[in-house]
Amino acid sequence: MVAREHVHYFGAGPAPLPTDVLEQASRALLNYKDKGIGLCEISHRSPDANEILANTKAALANLLDIPDDYEILFLQGGGSGEFSAVVYNLVSIWVEKRRARAEKELGHVSQDKVLERLRKEVEDELKLDYLVTGSWSLKASQEAARLVGAQHVNVALDARDANHGKFGRIPPESEWRLTPRKQNGGAALAYFCDNETVDGVEFPFFPQSLEGDDAAPVVADMSSNFISRKVDARKYAVIFGGAQKNIGNTGITIVIVRKSLLPPVSKYASADLLRALNLPVGPVVLDWPTIAKNNSLYNTLPIFDVWVAGQVMSGLVQTYGVKKISGQEEISNEKAKMIYKTLDKYPDVYSVVPDKSVRSRMNICFRVGGGDAEKEKGFLAGAEKMGLLGLKGHRSVGGIRASNYNAVSVEGAEKLVAYLEDYAEKA
């Protein structure tokens, strides 16, 4: 039997969790708060469940300095579910804004006249901007096209065009083809994946071209770099991410959404209106206003998963104090720096996949021996003998991937560096 302390896991997700959180979880599963029942057995509408929700929200708000005019939601369906939810919710808002404007400008006319104008605006002007920098943003753009039609999806950037058909670079913003901003509104949303788990590409900073009061609502998928660095939440309309990378175990998705996108400040277009415009009506379990109104408890929320996320984030709050998430960012940067430095030291043995300007701190993707299958197989076998697990690259791209999530210790990163050194010296 292999002891947990003898293994360092670098899998891309589900990812490792802090050992102390798992030890607490094992007790909570059996007997929560000495009540004689386990955490998975309590009602999601009980006072205990509401306390867990409140504590988890507070920990996340503390870590990321989330302003009061943002709502934190817990849903199911993973990041892929939010690919759809983003479209359902933000297209609905775009339509409602256009409907209100049409009624104001047209005056006392029949609803048929309003509907006629809306149909033309949807046909001519509805656009959803996507920055495609890797496999996950590509999937998100494809889901948007499936839901509203490819004619409404503007791939403002396909990074493969500048990199011989492969992901691994982010071209300068001057080359992006964003929907032009207009006085009465441009794109319904501007979407990007902050860190591409498969391709090892991470945005080094918030894109300047997405800033400004007249910019489209910015949506960021942060599934794989959530709570790993400081972000300015005010720059985003929506931030979402699955929990199973840095935050917790598989089962919940976290959405941070600007309250101005939720009733009663604004209304969503009615289902009847969306159907009349041949636009999709989303399932209620992905409807952010419904989830917010019900404190994330519209349907049965897996409270155990929320509790785990809360324990992880509360641990970071206690560890880093006034530094908040900047403390974790320092550690994440330190680990990534030492691994990349070692890979760069042996260019004849290792080749990092993405361009140096966009290397992910979370998912370090590289090839061994120029991508030689047998050499990479041997590299992985040797790593496993050293207790370094989960290093195989995604099935779609192959190679090696060391996922440097928060629960990967500095000691684990140092052990990986030692193995990289030893393998290169013997190669």
Quote the pLDDT of residue 263.
76
- DSSP codes of every residue in 93-130: HHHHHHHHHHHHHH-S--HHHHHHHHHHHHHHH--EEE
pLDDT at 9: 97
Long-range contacts of 99-104 (CB under 8 A, 24+ apart): 99/269, 99/273, 101/184
Averaged pLDDT, groups of 10, the chain, 427 residues long: 91 95 97 96 95 98 97 97 98 94 91 95 97 98 98 98 95 96 84 98 97 94 97 97 95 97 73 94 95 96 97 97 97 98 98 98 98 98 98 96 97 98 96
Integer Cα distance of 281 and 273 in angstroms: 10
What is the helix (H) or strand (E) element at residue 141, kind and residue range? Answer: helix 135-148
pLDDT at 269: 76
Fold held by 8-15+324-426: Aspartate Aminotransferase, domain 1 (3.90.1150)
Q: What is the pLDDT of residue 266?
A: 56
CA distance 39 to 305: 10
Whether 134 and 193 have beta carbons less than 8 Å apart is answered as yes
How far, in Å, are 164, 190, 193, 218, 233 from residue 206 at the CA level? 25, 12, 11, 10, 11
| Strand ranges in 248-338 using DSSP code E only, listed in sequence order | 253-258
d(CA 298, CA 93) in angstroms, rounded, equals 21
SS3 293: helix
| Structure tokens, 87 | 């479209």
Q: Residue 276 carries which side chain, given as an amino acid letter? A: A
Token pair recorded at residue 213: 């009061």
Rg (CA), the chain: 23
Q: 202 has which bridge partners?
A: 195
Q: Output DSSP code: residue 128.
A: E
Q: Which residue has the tokens 């006629």?
A: 116
Q: What was the pLDDT predicted at 264?
A: 65
Instruction: List all residues 6 or more positions away from 109 whose beta carbon is below 8 Å from its beta carbon.
Output: none
Give the distance, in angstroms, between the CA of residue 25 and the centroid of all CA atoms in the same chain. 25
The pLDDT value recorded for residue 267 is: 64
- 324 within 8 A of 62, measured Cβ to Cβ: yes
Burial of 233 (0-12, 13-18, 19+ CB in 10 A): middle
Q: Which CATH number fits domain 58-305: 3.20.20.150, 3.40.50.2300, 3.90.700.10, 3.40.640.10?
A: 3.40.640.10
**CB 379, CB 371: distance < 8 Å:** no
Q: Where are the domains of the chain?
A: 8-15+324-426, 58-305
Amino acid in the structure at residue 376? E
Sign of CA dihedral 349, 355, 357, 358: negative
Q: For residue 129, give the H/E element and its range.
A: strand 128-132
pLDDT at residue 184 in the model: 62
In terms of Cα–Cα distance, which of 137, 174, 144 is closest to 158? 137
Hey, which bits of 232-344 come out as E strands?
A: 238-242, 253-258
- Which residue is associated with the tokens 């949303």? 189
